[in-house]
Amino acid sequence: MAFTAKDVQALRQATGAGMMDAKKALEANDGDIEAAKQWLREQGLAASAKRADRENTQGVVALVVDGQVGSLVELKCETDFVASSEHFKLEAQELARLVAAKGAEAVADRQERLEDLKITLKEKIEVGRVVRLEAKPGDTIESYLHVQGGRGVNGVLVVVSGGTPELAHDVAVHIAFARPKYLNRDDVPADVVAAERQTLETITRNEGKPEQALPKIVEGKLGGWFKRVPGGVLLEQPYARDDKVTVSAHLGGAEVVRFAQVEIGA
């Protein structure tokens, strides 16, 4: 089957392939455009397999809040050049929209499009962290997205009970920069606390502190460990905009129900 220059152009627009690759695909498939698309995809997949060992520490974080539902999606790539491209950012946003509407598993609906992006952009592209939070009626879900170089790189969702949207947003901003790992002390695994307590006890003993004073000193140091920034317990961290009070004190009578953070490179 013969093909024309218009066929080559149409195939290029549909797949993002180069001119010579598009011509080869049409020649290999007797001018059948659909078969040529499949041929290019197969070739692209073979090429992407060679990229499997590359690091893809760049990317974009997309965030969607729709009513009482919020989603965060990390779409990973190799370079900030690709991460800043409109095609890439739009795909991440579409993935976040799908997750908000259908759930985390909905990213599978875009697998074919992601394979196309691998061909077009010639990089190792894959979905990273995917989060979906849903607030109960009466609770408030808020967000914050830190944008750098024209793309989202650090996204936060937080669900607050008994607080205003402004308060919830303030907490989301705090989380973005303080990067807490846990909501409260009860969320920290017991073995992690025990290991840290043992380490602090050894350090304190090596400092020459009296044996009888060790328990009190260690507990004081452990309290500081819970408050650490980044990585500590959210409610015990000094509030980012007023470090004289904790996040818990800033909340007043409100309560953080859940939070999630997705950050490129984290």
- Return the pLDDT at 46: 44
On average, the pLDDT of the chain sits at 91
Residue 19 pLDDT exceeds 80: no
State the CATH architecture for 185-227: Orthogonal Bundle (1.10)
Q: Indicate the fold that domain 58-180+232-263 takes in CATH.
A: Tetrahydropterin Synthase; Chain A (3.30.479)
Residue 92 pLDDT exceeds 90: yes
Per CATH, 5-50 and 58-180+232-263 having the same topology is answered: no
Average pLDDT (196-224) is 93
| Cβ contact 90:62 at 8 Å | no
Domain-by-domain residue ranges, the chain? 5-50, 58-180+232-263, 185-227
| pLDDT tier for residue 52 given thresholds of 50, 70 and 90 | low
- Return the pLDDT at 90: 95
pLDDT in tens, 70-82: 999 999 999 999 9
One-letter identity of residue 106: A
pTM for the full model? Answer: 0.79
pLDDT in tens, 150-189: 999 999 999 999 999 999 999 999 999 999 999 999 999 9
Percent of the chain with pLDDT over 70: 94
- Return the pLDDT at 16: 64
Residue 48 pLDDT exceeds 60: no
Q: Indicate the fold that domain 5-50 takes in CATH.
A: Helicase, Ruva Protein; domain 3 (1.10.8)
